[in-house]
Structure 1
């Protein structure tokens, strides 16, 4: 009996309780709003409960493994992920104009999701191996190559949303590893000038006959819809306009649980996945939206706190990158739902329906907990 209790205690100690409490709150809110979005308890609600269960199991398993083992596995996991992306290029299944899935017979997977984790792990492993205290130009170039390979392969699928998430997850590792802020200033200036030029010449560059060359037609349409949603209110701009109406109609206090008209009358498209925040904001209003953002902010702060306490370069870089990637998830999803960013198909963490995204987030949280629990050398043995 004593051995049993010791085992239970050991299992429970791997959890970071502040982080777990935030996850439980967000999961609870996610199931509540999912119940409303689907109009009751149907197969999607039951499937989402199963997805949460699998994500929690993955979280626990990953948290129980010391970071030193994840450090050793990082190069192999990265190589496997890249090889799977190459396999998608040649043998992938095409759906809705994009080739993102790979059928392995037993299971059907989307390898690009795996790279959201393996890319920052690989880069954190790389910088862990470097002996130099300051990043040299050669080190930066090698890191860029490691990041560029999966980014290009995912863009070719095409899946720009996931590619940007992978790119940013790797960028955060490079930045935390010591990338000089001075190198980012010219990049920021170029981006600002480019965005200003697009806004100024929106009428000309968004004409149907204009080819953007570097972007697919649907990607061009998304950017042009962001610049002027009313240009095609019943077509390309329908998603953005209806989600903005739903959020605005919620007001300060919201319409009440399961009382959202925009969602329940099918005006909000993809209301269980990418646009679930519109359903939430319509029913719970400004107060509910602020409460959810506070939960997300606390999660990010806790992740950065774990990063700051990490005793290894690998743990510090990986925890910091995962925390900031979570921020990007939230920023991009709410940005596209509120009409300040183009629609790129990024889910809202722990709220949107989907097993693959929840599993990825669960593993990421498990890595954070592993880094926090095994931060003492004596615990890593």
Structure 2
């Protein structure tokens, strides 16, 4: 069987053939980053597997198996699940706002979790997946001209805008930012007119300052303003950024050595297992270690974009590009955050930071990308959009 015969209608592919079509270089890079994350979590816990490293490793192992399994699923099933998944996740986000099931974890500062009794979930994390799939299906079912400039663009705009506003109100500014920027990236990739892009850029420049001053909670506004001058409040809102910069700078070229980072080991660095784990990495392994991990991220992004470009279906192309976009935004925003180039908004470094919800979101996203690679010659029907 030739590669071009894969997933043609009516053909049954052998499991070994499908496994051979998986982009194993991408899988290897994902594993490498996750193993570095496990090593760093072991280090900052005082050379102990508990409380973070062992959980991180077990979660990744389970999700790796799930990712490889989902990568064998034909894109038609992702296609069919796109709108229902978006709808269910939007209902869960609404339940946080309008039912007593929504709650705020201690010290979180945001009411962004949902207690369903048998389980607790953070819908905003998974909404990124639902949004990408739903937008990819919408663009698959519409023409290039409609994607460029049409009254119908009100639908994808609403699909992005409604959850953005609901999640920003929780307030979960980090997730809202990822959702808004991911939606914008997908609309750009799908061929949105440059006139609309320029108008949107101008609108953002005009609306961001008043939103910061009047639309944010006071603690959020302080974070945004303090990152411009963290030294103005070194023991308050500027503390996190200052300590992160100290950790980054003290690592030098080769770092202080594994397990020898003073900022993390002596617990000066806050949230060292989640938001600021990259600062810990830089302190212990220096510029060389940081550059190596960033190179892995760049490799992951480039391979994923290559997969998107080779997909025969528009759904696969747009969906894979969207999944890559939110992964890249995680990396960019967290990197800017720990360097003091962006406010602290609670965005983790993917696969490096501790956290089950964010890891699951990333791994399911890459399951879709790998599925697009395995079934890259698959054709999907057009014209079945809901609107």
Corresponding residue SS for 2:136: helix
- Spell out structure 1 runs of 4+ moving beyond 6 A: none
Q: Equivalent residue for 1:247?
A: 248
Q: Distance in 2 between matches of 1:260 and 1:133?
A: 55
Q: Distance in 2 between matches of 1:94 and 1:189?
A: 35
Q: In 2 relative to 1, CA 137–344 (structure 1 residues): closer, same or farther, beyond 3 Å?
A: same
Q: Equivalent residue for 1:154?
A: 167
Mark the runs of 5 or more structure 1 residues left unpaired by the alignment: 1-5, 199-204, 206-210
Q: Equivalent residue for 2:41?
A: 34
Q: Equivalent residue for 1:318?
A: 319
Q: Distance in 2 between matches of 1:287 and 1:261?
A: 19
Corresponding residue SS for 1:335: helix
1:80 to 70, 76, 88: 88
Q: Equivalent residue for 2:103?
A: 93
Superposed CA offset, 1:95-137 (max 9, x none): 3342111111211111111111000110111111114545232
Corresponding residue SS for 1:377: coil
Q: Distance in 2 between matches of 1:49 and 1:72?
A: 32
Q: Any residues of structure 2 matched to 1:221-236 within 5 Å, and which?
A: 221-236=222-237
Q: Equivalent residue for 1:264?
A: 265
State the TM-score, normalizing by the size of structure 1: 0.90
Asked if 2 retains the 8 angstrom alpha-carbon contact of 1:92 and 1:103, the reply is: yes
Q: Distance in 2 between matches of 1:194 and 1:258?
A: 45
Q: Distance in 2 between matches of 1:279 and 1:249?
A: 10
Q: In 2 relative to 1, CA 141–193 (structure 1 residues): closer, same or farther, beyond 3 Å?
A: closer
Q: Distance in 2 between matches of 1:379 and 1:13?
A: 22
What displacement does 1:30 show?
Answer: 1.2
CA RMSD of aligned residues (A): 2.2
Q: Equivalent residue for 1:49?
A: 57
Asked if 2 retains the 8 angstrom alpha-carbon contact of 1:134 and 1:178, the reply is: no
Superposed CA offset, 1:265-302 (max 9, x none): 11101000000001000011111111111111111101
Corresponding residue SS for 2:227: helix
Q: Any residues of structure 2 matched to 1:294-305 within 5 Å, and which?
A: 294-305=295-306
Asked if 2 retains the 8 angstrom alpha-carbon contact of 1:274 and 1:352, the reply is: yes
Q: Distance in 1 between matches of 2:96 and 2:21?
A: 36
Indicate whether 1:67 and 2:75 are aligned.
yes
Q: Any residues of structure 2 matched to 1:270-289 within 5 Å, and which?
A: 270-289=271-290
Q: Equivalent residue for 1:114?
A: 126
Q: Which moved more, 1:276-285 or 1:318-327?
A: 318-327
How many correspondences in the alignment? 362
Asked if 2 retains the 8 angstrom alpha-carbon contact of 1:51 and 1:354, the reply is: no
Q: Distance in 2 between matches of 1:103 and 1:66?
A: 33
State the TM-score, normalizing by the size of structure 2: 0.88
Asked if 1 retains the 8 angstrom alpha-carbon contact of 2:230 and 2:241, the reply is: yes
Corresponding residue SS for 2:71: helix
Q: In 2 relative to 1, CA 256–177 (structure 1 residues): closer, same or farther, beyond 3 Å?
A: same
Asked if 2 retains the 8 angstrom alpha-carbon contact of 1:14 and 1:370, the reply is: no
Asked if 1 retains the 8 angstrom alpha-carbon contact of 2:38 and 2:54, the reply is: no
Q: Distance in 2 between matches of 1:378 and 1:183?
A: 30
Q: Distance in 2 between matches of 1:129 and 1:314?
A: 9
Q: Distance in 1 between matches of 2:373 and 2:15?
A: 19
Q: Which moved more, 1:242-251 or 1:98-107?
A: 98-107
Indicate whether 1:339 and 2:340 are aligned.
yes
Corresponding residue SS for 2:70: helix
What displacement does 1:44 show?
Answer: 1.7
What displacement does 1:324 show?
Answer: 1.8
Q: Distance in 1 between matches of 2:185 and 2:103?
A: 31
Q: In 2 relative to 1, CA 142–241 (structure 1 residues): closer, same or farther, beyond 3 Å?
A: same
